[in-house]
Structure 1
Amino acid sequence: MDIGVISVRYARALLKASIDAGVEENVYSDMQILAQNYITLPELRTAIDNPMLSKELKEQLLIAATGNSPCNITRSFLSLVLKEARESILQFMANSYVTLYRKQKNIISAKLITAANVTKSVEDRMRHLVESKTNGTVQFETAINPELIGGFILEYDTYRMDASLKTKLNTILAQLSN
Structure 2
Amino acid sequence: MQNPRLASRYAKSLVDLSSEKGQLEAVQADMQFLQQLAKTNPDVVALLKSPIVKPDKKQQILAAIFEGKLNTISAAFIRLLVAKGREGNLPEIAQEFGKQYDILKNISKVKITTAVPVDAAVLDMIKAKVQAGTDKKVSLEASVNPDLIGGFVLESNNNLYDSSVLRDLNDIKKQFAENIYVHNIR
TM-score (norm 1): 0.87
Q: CA deviation at 1:14?
A: 0.6
Q: CA deviation at 1:64?
A: 6.1
For residues 64-88 of structure 1, the C-alpha deviation after alignment (integer angstroms, 9 at most, x for no partner) is: 6668511011011111111222212
Distance 1:65 1:127, change over 3 A: farther
- The 5-angstrom pairing of residues 11-160 of structure 1 reads 11-63=11-63, 68-160=68-160
Q: Are the equivalent residues in 2 in contact too, given 1:37–1:65 (CA < 8 A)?
A: no
Alpha-carbon distance between aligned partners in 2 of 1:35 and 1:119, rounded to the nearest angstrom: 25
Q: Are the equivalent residues in 2 in contact too, given 1:114–1:151 (CA < 8 A)?
A: yes
The alignment partner of 2:117 has SS state of coil
Alpha-carbon distance between aligned partners in 2 of 1:110 and 1:120, rounded to the nearest angstrom: 15
Q: Are the equivalent residues in 1 in contact too, given 2:55–2:85 (CA < 8 A)?
A: no
Structure 2: any 5+ residue segments left out of the alignment? Answer: 180-186
For residues 43-100 of structure 1, the C-alpha deviation after alignment (integer angstroms, 9 at most, x for no partner) is: 2222123344343442344456668511011011111111222212222211111111
Across the two proteins, how many residue pairs are aligned to each other?
177
For residues 137-178 of structure 1, the C-alpha deviation after alignment (integer angstroms, 9 at most, x for no partner) is: 222121222221211111122111111112112212322332
Structure 1: any 5+ residue segments left out of the alignment? Answer: none
Q: Are the equivalent residues in 1 in contact too, given 2:153–2:161 (CA < 8 A)?
A: yes
For the pair shown, the structure with the greater C-alpha radius of gyration is: 2
4+ runs deviating over 4 angstroms: 63-68
After superposition, the CA RMSD in angstroms is: 2.2
Residue 184 (structure 2) aligns with: none
The alignment partner of 1:81 has SS state of helix
Alpha-carbon distance between aligned partners in 2 of 1:35 and 1:65, rounded to the nearest angstrom: 14
- Percent of aligned pairs with the same amino acid: 32
The alignment partner of 1:27 has SS state of helix
Per mean C-alpha deviation after superposition, the further-off stretch among 54-63 and 150-159 is 54-63
For residues 97-144 of structure 1, the C-alpha deviation after alignment (integer angstroms, 9 at most, x for no partner) is: 111111111112211111222232221121112212332122212122
